[in-house]
Structure 1
Amino acid sequence: MARSKINLLVIDDDDINIFIIKKIVEKTGYDVDMASQANGKLAIDYLQEMLDTNGPFPDLILIDINMPVLNGWEFIEAYEKMNVDKNPHMYLLSSSVYENDIEKAKTYAIVNGFISKPLAIERLKELFDALD
């Protein structure tokens, strides 16, 4: 296993997706502390609070694209402006099958990749293993 505890942040406005990801995380066998936020604005606020309070900053962030208030792309742009000195692995996790979304994800240096929903247990284990 990669590390003692993995801090995971899932940014998704769909409660069912959050529930499914939580169940998949449990099945990986890894020690994971999972937080979720319903949109990019709440996620930015959460990350700022973690920075301000020296709380556990995510090792891995999974970002849905289509959300209210601040979508996935807007979240990434807002995160870049935060000038955070931490480098969590970030993946867009979307049901989008549009090639332009996949290509757009590649234009952001801080985005590690694009994952199509649904998230598979094997893929999540790969993401956890890549954190070292």
Structure 2
Amino acid sequence: MIPKIDLLVIDDDDINIFIIKKIVEKTGYQVNMVAKTNGQLAVDYLTELQSQQQDFPDLILIDINMPVLNGWEFLEAYEKMNAGQKIDMYMLSSSVYENDIEKAKTYKTVKGFISKPLSINRLIELFDGISN
């Protein structure tokens, strides 16, 4: 049986969200994808899940440059939530700045940095890592 994966995408670009959704559909995995267009909406969403004692997503893909609360600010807010749930988080960015890649490594919650565009093979690798 194919495991169901809960995916949260935090990205302010509707085109990127659309592309990720299409890639998800091609992975063969059963995925419940939720997209939030900035870090604050994502924090609100996770806070709501926490208050209802529901599980957090298995995987979160976080864009860096967004309005309201950017990717780094989202991570700061997330670490203050004391969620205690294991989530695979990856920065997903078009940034080619080495300092962004290095900064991602300073967060214990972030497992890696993925440069856009996200490939189907890379997403399958992430899903495989969760389901095993």
Report the equivalent of 2:125: 126
* Correspondence list, 1:1-132, <5 A: 4-131=3-130, 132=132
Determine the C-alpha separation between the residues in 2 that align with 1:117 and 1:54: 33
Kindly provide the amino acid, as one letter, of the partner of residue 23 in structure 1.
Answer: K
Structure 1 position 4, deviation (Å): 1.8
Contact map agreement 1:7 1:56 (CA 8 A) in 2 = no
Determine the C-alpha separation between the residues in 1 that align with 2:77 and 2:55: 20
* TM-score relative to the length of structure 1: 0.96
Kindly provide the amino acid, as one letter, of the partner of residue 34 in structure 2.
Answer: A
Moved runs in structure 1, 4+ residues, more than 3 A? none
Determine the C-alpha separation between the residues in 1 that align with 2:100 and 2:25: 29
Kindly provide the amino acid, as one letter, of the partner of residue 6 in structure 1.
Answer: I
Kindly provide the amino acid, as one letter, of the partner of residue 88 in structure 1.
Answer: I
Structure 1 position 85, deviation (Å): 1.1
* TM-score relative to the length of structure 2: 0.96
Determine the C-alpha separation between the residues in 2 that align with 1:36 and 1:52: 19
Kindly provide the amino acid, as one letter, of the partner of residue 129 in structure 1.
Answer: D
Question: Considering only aligned residues, what root-mean-square deviation do their CA atoms show, in Å?
Answer: 1.1
Structure 1 position 55, deviation (Å): 3.1
CA offsets, 1:76-129, max 9 Å, x none?
000000000101100000000000000000011110000000000000000001
Determine the C-alpha separation between the residues in 2 that align with 1:49 and 1:97: 34
Kindly provide the amino acid, as one letter, of the partner of residue 19 in structure 2.
Answer: I
The 3-state SS of whatever aligns with 2:26 is helix
The 3-state SS of whatever aligns with 1:130 is helix
Kindly provide the amino acid, as one letter, of the partner of residue 45 in structure 2.
Answer: Y
Unaligned runs of 5+ in 2: none
Structure 1 position 56, deviation (Å): 4.1
Structure 1 position 16, deviation (Å): 0.3
| Count of aligned pairs | 131
